[in-house]
Amino acid sequence: MIILKTAKELDIMKESGKICSRALKEAGKAVEPGVSTEKIDEVVRKYLKSQGATSSSLGYSGFPKNCCISVNNEVIHGIPSADRIIKSGDIVSIDICSKFKGYHTDNAYTFECGDVSENAKNLLKATKESLFEGIKVAKAGNRIGDIGHAVESYVKAHGYSVVRDFVGHGVGVELHEDPSVPNYGLQGHGPRLMPGMTIAIEPMINEGSGKVSVLKDEWTVCTLDGKLSAHFEHTVAITPNGPVILTDPS
């Protein structure tokens, strides 16, 4: 069931999204050679707490940390750890979901650590741009398939692949609501976008094949071919005046 939000609820989600996106900004500032992913998680925990928000990841199906941090060939759901030290040249995907005044918001960004390769830079650029291609068509009257089609055709043109095993989702009252928001799709297909819908659009884009596997920790999703992956995400509201990014730190 798709949960449509009232204007008042969207205002609260905007507040929630501001906190979530500022937490992501703070986490990004902590990305530097020699830092552990656990230390970045601690930055997230402290920031959310200082704002009266809570992590939606902590305890979700038993997830032990406040955010997901996935490095290089890791796609999503990496578990922050004291043993995982970031080094120059790494790309670091940080995914934060948080709850404020009863409403969840969700966003992700892949940060560069030190000097990264040209290949990595290009992947990050195309992935970030594909998110905005998706957002552009997230308009009332369009369909979910239009978003996936926009994302996939954009990254395909750059020689990259979308991950099909994991998808974006509705978000708000619950962390994961209907509808699913795949990063692939057919134009004019899928549920119709309506004012009041709030969705997390989140391209997970691989340098090589889109195939992935899950590590023994039962969380971390990696590329099957060991090549790089990037992840950018915003929580977006569908409004009569077009898409509004709720995870806006400004």
Which residues make up the interface to Mg ion (CB under 5 A)?
106, 200, 202
Give 92 or 116: the residue with its C-beta nearer to Mg ion.
Answer: 92
- In angstroms, rounded to a whole number, what is the distance separating the alpha carbons of residues 238 and 240? 7
Q: Do 140 and 243 touch, CB atoms closer than 8 A?
A: no
Count of helix runs (H) and strand runs (E) in the chain: 4, 15
Residue 24: its H or E element: helix 7-29
Residue 199 exposure: Cα atoms within 13 Å on the Cβ side? 33
Nearer to Mg ion, 40 or 200 (CB): 200
Which residue's CB is nearer to Mg ion, number 116 or number 170? 170
Tell the smallest beta-carbon distance from residue 117 to Mg ion (Å): 27
Min CB(42)–Mg ion separation in Å? 22
Beta strands in the chain (DSSP E): 54-55, 68-71, 74-76, 91-100, 103-112, 161-162, 168-170, 177-181, 198-201, 204-206, 212-214, 221-223, 229-231, 234-239, 242-245
User: CA-to-CA distance for 249 and 121, rounded, in angstroms?
Assistant: 23
Minimum CB distance to Mg ion, residue 33 (Å): 28
Q: Minimal distance in Å, beta carbon 109 to Mg ion?
A: 12
Residue 247 beta carbon to Mg ion: minimum distance, rounded to whole angstroms: 10
Give which of 111, 101, 125, 105 is closest to 51, Cα–Cα: 101
